[in-house]
């Protein structure tokens, strides 16, 4: 379960963020099962030693990833292009031999965000090149452990143009123009159709009475707020999170770029999943919750991260001076600034 949202300030500054909702540990709270997650920065003009085929980076790229690997869950490059991965159960893959026989280039799904962000500067460039690739059925090896997640991908650049790429054609991609929100299965076309069921919801409260029949007139409830959004789905399924994120992000008041991350976070609070709301069974202690939230300021190429393990935030601006891959830990504490 993950949610991605983008918003734009009145000056045109774009902000993109995502929740990483996962049942597996990410920050060492369970050393036996946690994926070692860090802020990963990959320098430009650097040869990345992929488990499939190495490639040369064109752009410095930074994001949330796996320590001692080239895997990025999400990130941003020095051109302001940002993107992420999210689970899509309808994902397909194909063998390396079949992909090459189709005249396509095989890529590992776990490395796809890293590859795209390190190679392309804009969504338009991705649109011009995405048909060249397909996802291979080879798993990514974490030591002796094979990893392979069913994924789809979203990318957005400083112009606000956004796409969703879904590898549903034997590993090759179907492209959708994004509408500012992405979640998980079903495929993106389902969500953009389902959102039409909520066309009557509004960020304006009803103020006029409604004549029902000769005997009864309905009066709006004047106490309280938000009645224009009455009926907004409140559960944590993918379709409901999509609807909630879409309507809330599009109901924001106009804001300045300096307030963008705060505004982005205010929307994400409605889709951040508390620990314990989802278990595979009554006997399972594993719970799927928001392991972290991250927001990207595409104009200033800065990221802000808060984990599900603590309330502290970690902020980092992309470092163009690096010549080697860099890994930095995220603050997982409950540290606060106290004013007496």
Band (pLDDT 50/70/90 cuts) for residue 135 is very high
The mean of the pLDDT values for the chain is 93
Which of 24-38, 123-137, 266-280 holds the top average pLDDT?
123-137
Whether the predicted pLDDT of 233 surpasses 80: yes
Band (pLDDT 50/70/90 cuts) for residue 222 is low
Band (pLDDT 50/70/90 cuts) for residue 144 is confident
Band (pLDDT 50/70/90 cuts) for residue 31 is very low
Percent of the residues in the chain that have a pLDDT greater than 90, as a whole number: 78
Cross-strand partners of 313: 306
Whether the predicted pLDDT of 337 surpasses 80: no
Cross-strand partners of 64: 39, 74
Relative to beta strand 37-42, strand 61-66 is: antiparallel
Residue 128: CB atoms within 10 A of its CB come to: 11
| Across 38-58, average pLDDT | 95
- pLDDT tens for each residue of 192-219: 999 999 999 988 887 778 888 988 988 8
Whether the predicted pLDDT of 24 surpasses 90: no
- pLDDT tens for each residue of 255-307: 999 999 999 999 999 999 998 887 777 777 778 899 999 999 999 999 999 99
CA 340/CA 108 separation, integer angstroms: 52
| Across 225-229, average pLDDT | 81
Contact 159, 123 (CB under 8 A): yes
Contact 99, 136 (CB under 8 A): yes
For residue 204, give the DSSP letter: S
Pairwise pLDDT comparison (25 vs 19), residue with the higher score: 19
Residue 216: CB atoms within 10 A of its CB come to: 8
Phi, psi angle pair for 141, to nearest 5°: -95, 120
Q: CB-based contacts of 141: which residues, under 8 Å, 6+ apart?
A: 51, 147
Band (pLDDT 50/70/90 cuts) for residue 30 is low
- Laid out side by side, the sheet with 326-328 consists of 105-107, 133-135, 172-177, 162-169, 151-156, 82-87, 72-77, 61-66, 37-42, 326-328
- pLDDT tens for each residue of 65-102: 999 999 999 999 999 999 999 999 999 999 999 999 99
């Amino acid at each position: 379960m993950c949610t991605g949202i983008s918003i734009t300030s009145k000056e045109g500054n774009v902000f993109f963020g995502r929740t990483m909702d996962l049942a597996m540990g990410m920050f060492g709270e369970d050393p036996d099962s946690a994926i070692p997650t860090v802020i990963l920065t990959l320098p430009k003009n650097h040869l990345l030693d992929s488990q499939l085929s190495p490639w040369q980076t064109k752009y410095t790229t930074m994001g949330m990833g796996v320590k001692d690997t080239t895997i990025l869950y999400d990130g941003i490059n020095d051109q302001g292009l940002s993107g992420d991965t999210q689970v899509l159960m309808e994902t397909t893959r194909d063998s390396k031999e079949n992909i090459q026989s189709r005249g396509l280039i095989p890529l590992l799904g776990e490395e796809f965000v890293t590859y795209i962000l390190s190679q392309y500067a804009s969504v338009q460039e991705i649109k011009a090149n995405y048909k060249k690739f397909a996802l291979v059925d080879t798993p990514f090896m974490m030591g002796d452990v094979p990893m392979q997640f069913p994924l789809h991908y979203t990318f957005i650049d400083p112009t606000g143009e956004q796409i969703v790429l879904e590898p549903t054609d034997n590993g090759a991609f179907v492209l959708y123009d994004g509408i500012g929100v992405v979640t998980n299965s079903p495929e993106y076309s389902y969500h953009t159709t389902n959102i039409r069921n909520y066309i009557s919801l509004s960020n304006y409260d009803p103020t006029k009475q409604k004549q029902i029949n000769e005997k009864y007139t309905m009066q709006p409830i004047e106490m309280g707020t938000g009645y224009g959004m009455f009926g907004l789905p409140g559960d944590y399924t993918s379709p409901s999170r999509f609807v909630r994120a879409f309507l809330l992000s599009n109901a924001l008041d106009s804001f300045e770029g300096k307030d963008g991350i705060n505004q982005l976070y205010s929307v994400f609070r409605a889709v951040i999943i508390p620990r314990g709301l989802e278990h595979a069974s009554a006997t399972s202690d594993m719970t799927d919750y928001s392991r972290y939230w991250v927001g990207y300021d595409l104009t200033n190429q800065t990221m802000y991260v808060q984990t599900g393990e603590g309330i502290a935030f970690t902020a980092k601006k992309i470092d163009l001076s690096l010549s080697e891959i860099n890994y930095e830990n995220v603050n997982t504490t409950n540290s606060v600034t106290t004013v007496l």
